[in-house]
Amino acid sequence: MSVEDAIREFVRANRDAEARFLAEIVKIPSDNPPGDCARPAETAAELLEQLGFSVERHKVPEALVKANGMVSATNLIVRRRFGQGGPTIALNAHGDVVPPGAGWTRDPYGAEILDGHMFGRGVAVSKSDIATYAFAMLALERSGAALNGTVELHVTYDEEAGGEIGPRHILERGLSKPDLAIGAGFSYAVVSAHNGCLHLEVEVLGRSAHAARPFTGVDALEAANGILAALYGWRGGLAARTSAIAGIGSPQMTVGLISGGINTNVVPDRVTFRLDRRMVPEENPAEVEAELKAVIANAAKLHPEARVTVNRILLAEPLTPTAAGAKLTETLCRHATRVMGETITASGVPLYTDARHYAKAGVPIVLYGAGPHTIEEANAHRADERLPLSDLYKATEVIALTLAELMGG
Of 134, 152, 34, 132, nearest to 88 by C-alpha is 152
CA angle, residues 274, 195, 295, in degrees to nearest 5:
40
Three-state secondary-structure class, residue 57: strand
Beta bridge partners of 181: 90, 365
pLDDT of residue 57: 98
pLDDT of residue 374: 77
List Cα–Cα distances, 338 to 62, 118, 234, in angstroms: 46, 24, 45
pLDDT of residue 18: 98
pLDDT of residue 306: 98
Dist CA 363 CA 357 (whole Å): 9
pLDDT of residue 371: 82
Of 89, 101, 96, nearest to 150 by C-alpha is 89
pLDDT of residue 96: 98
pLDDT of residue 375: 76
317 DSSP 8-state letter: P
Of 399, 379, 398, 400, nearest to 388 by C-alpha is 379
Burial 189-209 (b: 16+ CB within 10 A, else e): bbbbbbbbbbbbebbbbbbbb
Number of helices and strands in the chain (H, E) = 11, 15
List Cα–Cα distances, 194 to 185, 245, 365, 390, in angstroms: 11, 9, 11, 26
What string of pLDDT tens digits covers the 409 residues of the chain? 899 999 999 999 999 999 999 999 999 999 999 999 999 999 999 999 999 999 999 999 999 999 999 999 999 999 999 999 999 999 999 999 999 999 999 999 999 999 999 999 999 999 999 999 999 999 999 999 999 999 999 999 999 998 999 999 999 999 999 999 999 987 788 999 999 999 999 999 999 999 999 999 999 999 999 999 999 999 999 999 999 999 999 999 999 999 999 999 999 999 999 999 999 999 999 999 999 999 999 999 999 999 999 999 999 999 999 999 999 999 999 999 999 999 999 999 998 999 999 999 999 999 999 987 777 888 888 999 999 999 999 999 999 999 999 999 6
